[in-house]
Structure 1
Amino acid sequence: MQILVRDNNVDQALRALKKKLQREGVFREMKLRDHFEKPSERKARERAEAVRRARKLARKALQREGLLPAKPKPAR
């Protein structure tokens, strides 16, 4: 992974690095590996994540078909 620092702006480069790491799931992985997780807990977590992903995909499909209203975007 490579981040370019432009005009000695380290803060901006650090923000970009954090965003890339977040997208890759590195922080989540570190949090999971911080403590031992029993195999039964891991299976339950992975099952719950799979259900969450499936529901999200179904919701997105229904929104595309127009059967569900899209989530309103927050006004700034």
Structure 2
Amino acid sequence: MQVLVRDNNIDQALRVLKKKMQREGLFREMKARRAYEKPSEKRTREKAEAIRRSRKVARKKAQREGLLPPPKKKPMDARRLARPA
């Protein structure tokens, strides 16, 4: 993984790196590897993740077909609207 540092702006480069690591699932993997996970626990977790993914896909499909209402939009946070210049 590679991140370019522009104008010696390390804070921005760190933010970009963390976002890339989050997207790749590295933080979840590091947390999982801290302690040993029994094979039975691993199977249970992976099965639950698969069920969660399949339910999400089914929910999205039902929303596209109009069987379920679309998700509610979150209201904009006042802090995000008033950004410092």
Q: TM-score interval w.r.t. the shorter chain? A: over 0.9
1:14 and 1:61 map into 2 onto residues whose CA distance is 36
Match of 2:54 in 1: 54
2:8 and 2:63 map into 1 onto residues whose CA distance is 44
2:19 aligned partner, one-letter code: K
- Fraction of identical pairs, as percent: 68
Unaligned runs of 5+ in 1: none
1:75 and 1:14 map into 2 onto residues whose CA distance is 28
2:7 and 2:72 map into 1 onto residues whose CA distance is 38
What SS is found at the alignment partner of 1:17?
helix
In the alignment, does 2:31 pair up with 1:31?
A: yes
What SS is found at the alignment partner of 1:2?
coil
Q: CA deviation at 1:16?
A: 0.4
In the alignment, does 2:50 pair up with 1:44?
A: no
TM-score by length of 1: 0.96
TM-score by length of 2: 0.86
Could you list the runs of 4 or more consecutive aligned residues of structure 1 that deviate by over 2 angstroms after TM superposition?
none
Unaligned runs of 5+ in 2: 77-85
Query: In angstroms, what is the RMSD of aligned CA positions?
Result: 0.6
Match of 2:79 in 1: none
2:73 and 2:17 map into 1 onto residues whose CA distance is 27
Q: Considering only CA atoms, is the larger Rg found in Structure 1 or Structure 2?
A: 2
Q: CA deviation at 1:57?
A: 0.3
Name the one with the larger helix percent.
Answer: 1
Between the two proteins, the alignment pairs up a number of residues equal to 76
Match of 2:20 in 1: 20
